[in-house]
Structure 1
Amino acid sequence: MKWLVCLMVIVLIGCATSSLRVTVKPNTEFGRNSAITIRPMGLDWLDAGPAFADALTAAGFNVISAAVASHKEEYKGRVNPGYDGRKLYLSKERVAGYKSKYLLQYGYSSGEADATSYQSLNKFWGDVVDLTTGEIVVFMRYKSGHIGRSPSSVVDEFIEKMIEALPNP
């Protein structure tokens, strides 16, 4: 009977564990005085974007709205010789010009935590990218155990750990 209780405790602890990892590039210029734009990598069903904006603004970062980004369409072409001469192949891309030096992009997978349809994060990932060089200056990953967490609690912990790891707070 004792071994059954011990086994149940171990299983429950294993299901409840989660991990959040934040890595900041050493000697990065990114800090609290930096301008940053927030953008989801896909649909933001759980509204993590406003949680990021709130937490970053409260921590002293200059959060720039993605609404002021300029958008343009670029055409890229290549010429290939064909059997009937030369052909031009064009592709169209939409390019965003952000008004900040840094871009925080994020994505997640979620699930229902209980019968009340409380949404929780199962996996969450985010990167802060230097838009002038393309370098990733902050790397964040979260993976829950069996029980997920709310988006705001994951975002708050991410911001706390990021600030602790920044070289120039």
Structure 2
Amino acid sequence: MEAAVAIENGISSGELIKIPPQPDEVDTDGYAAREGRLLARWALFRERNPSLRRRKIAEASRLGRRIQCEVCSFHFADLYGPIGQDYIEVHHVQPLHISGPRETLLRDLAFVCANCHRMCHRTYLGSTWRTPDTLRSMMAGHPRLPCNAV
């Protein structure tokens, strides 16, 4: 009851609006949120072998194949120049959460750009994972630019 009276008195006297903003309050001119704290997380995740990506890229280079997204054909070096050379993400064609621990072959991986990779993993209509072929089929017939085009 005392708090309610204090608030009412603060509002009616105008003193309440003189309280300086608190550091954890949201900015009234736009949206702001506190970030940047260091947090520790304990989580289970599927092991990935980073050498598979390097070997997949090396194999494509050795065979003279263009290192580009297998969904949208985006090639990082075409847009970003030398910094984009040989940059690409890889996606498991058969998800590890279904197969469990296994030997992964290079043919079990597909090159995908960052946007297509996120779309492969995005939850949509109950599906939480899709292959590059499935995503490419979903995109067929939709007028578009390459997914990373400026």
Q: Same fold (TM over 0.5)?
A: no
Of structures 1 and 2, the larger Rg is shown by 2
TM range (shorter): under 0.3
Structure (1 or 2) with the greater strand fraction: 1
Structure (1 or 2) with the greater helix fraction: 2
